[in-house]
Homo-oligomer: A and B are copies of this chain.
Amino acid sequence: MKQTKSHRRDTVTVELSAVIAAASPAGPSVLTVRHSGGAPSGLPSGPLEADHRTLEAGLRSWVEEQTSQRLGHVEQLYTFGDRDRAAAGGLAARALSIGYLALVREARPADSAAASWQGWYRHFPWEDRRDGRPTAVDRLERRLVEWAAGAAGEAERRLRRDRLGATFGIGTDGWIEDRVLERYELLYEAGIVAEAARGAPAGARDPGAEGEPMVTDHRRILATAIGRLRGKIKYRPIVFELMPPAFTFLQLQRTVEGLAGVRLHKPNFRRLVAQQGLVEETGEVTPETGGRPARLLRFRPDVLRERPAPGLRLPRPRAAAPD
């Protein structure tokens, strides 16, 4: 072993940040805090302290202090620690950033003045394909294609084109909703996202940067959370962590559509949910919603004992028959 190096242990601060997600049939949202006037918003967060028994306990205490929000399901997402990409300052001590995802049932109106709920697609407009591909995305994709074409060397160009295909589905057919983080990272590399210009001189800021930015790396954490949630609804019944105690089929479908950012086929969604045994009827019906009254449902926790992976597989359109 080489023992010649300095082996200087890093002075590390650890920041715990939470993506607190709620969802309604209209769409998902995230709890944000704004520390000072003009600054971008951020996630509830705070440093790890000595009296935190576990990382999750530390996170919960910071969130309660900043937002008075009680958390239900909590899971760790990822630990970010690039030396150059942490603080806006630049050469500060390394800041590790541990991101968490928390799900809450009701988006209670955030009594703290600093905290507020935001639709999460304000920060990721390109991720919402519920009404087809937003036209604003055309501009974004054009810039991405330019970026790929502008690479030095054929090998690098090819690599970039492949990544555009795998993430945004450019050149291929498939939009894969889980790959939220990969898409955000691509935009960061391509300089299309405001956070990428943080280190650069103020004049170099890009006025056409896409989506509303957040402080430090919080948008990256949010991207991780969205991707994780989109992946996980397929094999675990966690949508129900976001639903009220009783709900209709359509409310459930709209919520899932909001999370996944795509539209689903109504009869098939019903069939899927019913066949999986994910829900049972409460016996009541809604004070209707415009048409025939809908039966109310509740989550059936026994499904966890019966099925190995009870989730909501999102349909993938069948490939057109070859000619």
A residues whose Cβ falls under 8 Å from a Cβ of B: 1-2, 5-14, 47-55, 65-66, 76, 78-79, 81-84, 94, 96, 98, 162, 165-166, 172, 174, 176, 304-306, 308-309, 316
Q: Note all chain B residues with C-beta closer than 8 A to A47.
A: 9-10
CA distance A55 to B80 in the complex (A): 8
Residue in B54, B66, B96, B306 whose beta carbon sits within 8 Å of that of A14 in the complex: B96
Q: Report the nearest B residue to A84, measured CB to CB.
A: B53
CA distance A176 to B304 in the complex (A): 12
Q: Note all chain B residues with C-beta closer than 8 A to A76.
A: 78-79
Residue in B50, B82, B83 whose beta carbon sits within 8 Å of that of A8 in the complex: B50
Q: A13 near B9 (CB under 8 angstroms)?
A: yes
CA distance A49 to B7 in the complex (A): 7
Residue in B8, B9, B54 whose beta carbon sits within 8 Å of that of A81 in the complex: B54
Q: Note all chain B residues with C-beta closer than 8 A to A162.
A: 304-305
Q: Note all chain B residues with C-beta closer than 8 A to A6.
A: 51
Q: B94 near A9 (CB under 8 angstroms)?
A: no
Copy number in this complex? Answer: 2
Q: Note all chain B residues with C-beta closer than 8 A to A13.
A: 9, 12
Q: A81 near B55 (CB under 8 angstroms)?
A: yes
Minimum C-beta distance from A5 to chain B (A): 8
Q: B166 near A10 (CB under 8 angstroms)?
A: no
Known contacts A50-B10, A172-B306: A96-B96 contact under CB 8 Å: yes
Supplied contacts A8-B50, A10-B14, A55-B81, 7 more A-B pairs, CB within 8 Å: A8-B49, A11-B50, A54-B83, A79-B79, A96-B96, A176-B309, A308-B316
Known contacts A1-B66, A10-B50: A55-B84 contact under CB 8 Å: no
Minimum C-beta distance from A7 to chain B (A): 6
Minimum C-beta distance from A95 to chain B (A): 11
Minimum C-beta distance from A171 to chain B (A): 8
CA distance A79 to B79 in the complex (A): 7
CA distance A84 to B11 in the complex (A): 21
Q: Note all chain B residues with C-beta closer than 8 A to A14.
A: 10, 12, 81, 96
CA distance A306 to B79 in the complex (A): 31
Q: A304 near B65 (CB under 8 angstroms)?
A: no
Q: B53 near A83 (CB under 8 angstroms)?
A: yes
Minimum C-beta distance from A68 to chain B (A): 10
Q: B12 near A166 (CB under 8 angstroms)?
A: no
CA distance A199 to B66 in the complex (A): 35
Q: Report the nearest B residue to A179, measured CB to CB.
A: B308
Q: B98 near A82 (CB under 8 angstroms)?
A: no
Minimum C-beta distance from A297 to chain B (A): 23
